[in-house]
Amino acid sequence: MNDFRLVRTCCDSNARAGNLETLHGIVPTPVFLPVGTQAAVKAITPDDLKEIGVQMLLSNAYHVYLRPGMDVIEKMGGLHRFMGWDGAMLTDSGGYQVCSLARLRRISEEGVLFRSHVDGSEHFITPEKAIRIQEIIGADVIMVLDECPSCSDEFSRVKEAVERTCRWAERSKEAHTRSDQALFAIIQGGVFSALRRKSAEKLVAQDFSGYALGGLSIGEPKDLMHSMIGETVTLLPGNKPRYLMGVGSPEDVVEAVSMGIDLFDSALPTRVARNGALFTWQGRCNIRNAAFRQKEGPVDLACGCFTCRNFSAAYLHHLFKCRELSGYRLASIHNLYFMNNLMTVMREAILNDSFPSFRDNFLSCYRPPDEGVRLAQKRKGLSAWGR
């Protein structure tokens, strides 16, 4: 299984609605994947995810490989059973850690030598080993090993990464043996149009099950990110799913859907939730602010999440002021519900041929964070923990 069926492309837009068929259910697209880096979405249980309506999540193969280890995952019958999740799953191969763990790795043509941030031990990950790890994990969609360059790298350095990523993709495909897993290639190229085009053309020629856009939203200005998305999408086959890696700001997701992206993942919604930032249709609000100290109603009257149905904004404000752990869970539930609902509303707009007006209305009402603040947060997020 793991087929993609395009249901509709909206009139006057490149926005698409589709169905990704997996062994763990049909996933309607566009879809947002919560990030469970270490086999868990922080502060959230699988039952929470199900109540929110999440149908697919991401886990990171490199981090799971380190802890608990492949011997544990294999003995437990795969990652789905280990973590108690019966929905669809995608795993990242570890290519993002080539960027986020730059101080702890060394790249060669054969693969990447990582020094573990956990205990200092060394681990050599080749394209073939990355595939083997993900086959043991048992995710529905797996990724080739790629080399993700920094957004500040020069043209020659990014060109080298693109060429190596294409060679590694070919090796990954040759090593892939499980027909019940979809293997996606990852397009790199930084903020250089010519390199993005070269990467896309070479990988499309290899005929993968789907294509991801990597190496974006890692510190580059938004206008450059949007430009790279728009230029790259036009080079991808229309009958294959398109996955934008690591993008989770609502305004960026809406823009990317308008360009034809189908899948998204990011730790942003849960990370900012644990810091008291809650998504609303008008933008983020900081629940720690004094304005919420005596607010009787929910954070968002229009929200149907567990948190807003049961608790006042004043109570959430209290939890964060007291640093009560339940506050992190309730805020994370709210933000993931917002993202899941946003995808549902966008899909309905696509099916109704009303997406352009939805996009315009959303972006006119939603107040994104200050660009300088956003870039500072993004660069801070490139820590040793990856996503």
* Catalytic residue annotation: 92, 265
Write down the H helix ranges in 84-215.
Answer: 95-100, 127-137, 155-175, 193-205
How many angstroms separate the CA atoms of 73 and 293, rounded?
Answer: 45
DSSP label at 89? E
Q: Are 149 and 99 in contact (CB under 8 A)?
A: yes
Q: Are 55 and 21 in contact (CB under 8 A)?
A: no
What are the two backbone dihedrals, phi and then psi, of residue 277, each rounded to the nearest 5 degrees?
-95, 120
State the number of CA atoms in the 13 A half-sphere of 376 facing the CB. Answer: 5
| 20 Cβ contact partners less than 8 Å away, ≥ 6 residues apart | 2, 3, 4, 26, 27, 28, 29, 31, 56, 88, 141, 241, 262, 263
DSSP letter for each residue of 321-384: HTT-HHHHHHHHHHHHHHHHHHHHHHHHHHHTT-HHHHHHHHHHH-BPPPHHHHHHHHHHH-ST
Structure tokens at 160: 């080298």
DSSP label at 220? S
Q: Are 331 and 307 in contact (CB under 8 A)?
A: yes
